Structure 1
């Protein structure tokens, strides 16, 4: 359920930004950095866009290839899979090659994200959209606090590091810092949303409930307004390259 909420909310938010940045019907060139199993990449390919997925994890590459193989030929032809690290986009692609760059669930694994973000911005054509999905560093105490882990909550107030559900020690990002970074790389923030305000503490194996539509509506509304979106588990930031 947690992943279903994340993917659906990000899809709705992304579609809203695409509609605001590009003419209706324009076929976009999309780069999905750290594409995972390809949920957003395939969704955009089904909508008619040409998508390049960049992924370095062999298991995720295999999962994406399997998912792509199940699609009709016309959609398969619009997707290209590249095995590689998101920090090496300059090795694989020319500057300005894409209208949209997605980087979802990647920055938490990168110790120094600024060079990666600068490289992604260079991949964008003028007016292109950069979509980032990050762990919210300003709300790290929410999950342990709601679970009654008071020691964990107290520690979380003064750090950007946390242990994710895979048991890995990773890092979170803060809205103000990322806003400044986006401005510095020439892709200033256009809009931002919260993702998983209410459902982040759900169990990993929690299924999609029968009232999923109402759940999504509540999450979507909370993710668009203060103060709710500021305590969301994830932040979705969209910047637009000038020029």
Structure 2
């Protein structure tokens, strides 16, 4: 996650939430959805060049490096970047050689890397901290190779009233119908995106939307400190979330949207 609006004060709270219920659901769903796209678009033995923009503590970047891909993780917050380096140091030498971590802002991606440098670009949980996502998305498109995959995880503005409404915060719910800005669970000012608007933006930068999913349709109200269930209950929960995230009209009211565009 890129700290473009002073994310640093919330880093400890973010890291303490890793592995908790809501984080575990999000990570499991995005991983399944991303792997579905990679399997569909690339030969199973192809080693991909991956850029993870706003890689945070490196969870997704490490996972992809373990699978054999060449991964670059870009992160602007020093504490998050240090956490990623610490996690990487625990890995075998081969994985350490495949994951390259560097400091950098999501907004500068287009200037940091040559055009067409990556087969896959991930930008998860970053756009919500940008006042205007268009220039950043254009930079991501610039570094994406032809037929490359762009994976975005954003807060869903079309469902922004659900969480406060279901929690009984009627003033916030009414405001959410008209305003994309909100305060997230980390206490930070953030901004949600609408599927229609992002679809148009992606088409305009030459990376038209190929597939989209809902993330946390059914479980977004779980307490921050809740632990994920185990065994069969966990698998059935994920199966229900996965079904909701690919089924209309449920996916349209997911807390987050996972959009996958392909460079033309």
Q: Normalised by the shorter chain, which TM-score bucket?
A: over 0.9
Q: Report the Cα offset of residue 4 of structure 1.
A: 0.5
1:12 equivalent to 2:32? Answer yes
Deviation digits for residues 23-42 of structure 1 (CA, Å, limit 9, x no counterpart): 22100000000001111111
Deviation digits for residues 60-83 of structure 1 (CA, Å, limit 9, x no counterpart): 101101111111111111000010
Partner of 2:211: 191
1:214 equivalent to 2:232? Answer no
Comparing 201-210 with 109-118, which one deviates more in the overlay?
A: 201-210
Partner of 2:180: 160
Gaps of 5+ in 1: none
Q: CA separation in 1, counterparts of 2:220 and 2:62?
A: 25
**Which aligned runs of 4 or more in structure 1 are off by greater than 4 angstroms?**
none
Q: CA separation in 1, counterparts of 2:228 and 2:32?
A: 18
SS in 2 for 1:15: helix
Partner of 2:116: 96
Comparing 219-228 with 151-160, which one deviates more in the overlay?
A: 151-160
CA contact (8 A) 2:217 2:245 kept: yes
How much is the aligned-residue C-alpha RMSD, in angstroms?
0.8
Q: Report the Cα offset of residue 170 of structure 1.
A: 1.0
Normalization by structure 2: what TM-score? Answer: 0.90
Deviation digits for residues 211-232 of structure 1 (CA, Å, limit 9, x no counterpart): 2111111101100011110010
Corresponding residue to 2:83 among 59, 63, 69: 63
Q: Report the Cα offset of residue 87 of structure 1.
A: 1.0
Corresponding residue to 1:123 among 143, 164, 172: 143
CA contact (8 A) 2:49 2:120 kept: yes
Corresponding residue to 1:182 among 202, 222, 235: 202
Q: How does 1:38-117 map to 2 (within 5 A)?
A: 38-117=58-137
Q: How does 1:131-170 map to 2 (within 5 A)?
A: 131-170=151-190
Q: CA separation in 1, counterparts of 2:163 and 2:152?
A: 21
SS in 2 for 1:26: coil
CA contact (8 A) 2:111 2:139 kept: no
Q: CA separation in 1, counterparts of 2:136 and 2:172?
A: 30
Q: Report the Cα offset of residue 91 of structure 1.
A: 3.0
Normalization by structure 1: what TM-score? Answer: 0.98
CA contact (8 A) 2:217 2:251 kept: yes
Gaps of 5+ in 2: 1-20
Partner of 1:231: 253
SS in 2 for 1:199: coil
Report the number of matched residues: 242
